[in-house]
Homo-oligomer: A and B are copies of this chain.
């Protein structure tokens, strides 16, 4: 969280899905003075429209580089986001909070962070930013602070940096303890245009959000709680 104290053009890999959280994250890293290298995954998810959003966002925030990595999580099945299972709609907040949602993708953040770790090593970057959030996604095991801490410990044993005594790798998750309205407030202060972001698990082919999946509901609710309107396009 003390990114501002250490940046000065240091390189950082930023995991950017093109959604609300990761866009705020990129704005945060840029604002803190990091030279950002954005990384987006195309993983057979239905919402490939996010990848286009990510491209525009990386450009707008002046990321030094932006790479799109193709990975095929469908090989394993196991999630409504990567298979033909239906994305749940119109669930109450209580339903969302019960257990692990079927939109959970097995080990997704572990795979994403591992690619980021590989790239950070090649770049000589010691910072990896990930937009996980322990409040709104409390059902996802890989969004918890103890997971992030354990990943960082592992990462510092995994790479050349470990053996060669370079600066340790930091896994930075500045949104970890923020509620969705606080994330939006932060982003608005940092100049994020949320009309550019795409959060929906089941968007229309022309990129409109469904307004009914968990991600849409959490987002609409957060904007409402801030007394403002979500500028994203809804079907």
Contact with B along A74-115 (1 / 0, CB 8 A): 011110000000000000000000001000111111110111
Q: A69-B72, A72-B70 are in contact. Are A110 and B106 (CB under 8 A)?
A: no
Give A11 Cβ to nearest chain B Cβ, in Å.
14
Q: A70-B72, A154-B147 are in contact. Are A159 and B115 (CB under 8 A)?
A: no
Contact with B along A42-65 (1 / 0, CB 8 A): 000000000000000000000000
When distances are taken between beta carbons in the complex, the residues of chain B under 8 Å from A72 are: 69-70
When distances are taken between beta carbons in the complex, the residues of chain B under 8 Å from A189 are: none
- Cβ of A1 within 8 Å of any chain B Cβ, yes or no, is no
Do most interface residues of chain A lie in helix, strand or loop, or is the interface mixed?
helix
User: Which chain A residues (140-161) contact chain B, with CB distance < 8 Å?
Assistant: 141-142, 144, 146-147, 150-151, 153-155, 157-160
Partner of A142, one of B77, B108, B109, B158: B158
Q: Contact: B142 with A150, CB < 8 Å?
A: no
Q: Contact: B114 with A118, CB < 8 Å?
A: no
When distances are taken between beta carbons in the complex, the residues of chain B under 8 Å from A194 are: none
- In the complex, residue of chain B having the shortest beta-carbon distance to the beta carbon of A68: B75
Q: Contact: A78 with B121, CB < 8 Å?
A: yes
- Cβ of A5 within 8 Å of any chain B Cβ, yes or no, is no
Give A72 Cβ to nearest chain B Cβ, in Å.
7
Q: Contact: A78 with B122, CB < 8 Å?
A: yes
Q: Contact: A160 with B147, CB < 8 Å?
A: no
Contact with B along A148-178 (1 / 0, CB 8 A): 0011011101111011100000000000000
- Cβ of A67 within 8 Å of any chain B Cβ, yes or no, is yes
In Å, the complex CA distance between A5 and B152 comes to 32
A residues apposed to B, CB below 8 Å: 67, 69-73, 75-78, 100, 104-111, 113-115, 117-119, 121-122, 139, 141-142, 144, 146-147, 150-151, 153-155, 157-160, 162-164
In the A-B complex, list the 7 residue pairs whose CB atoms are closest, starting with the nearest: A107-B118, A78-B122, A150-B154, A106-B121, A106-B118, A147-B157, A114-B114
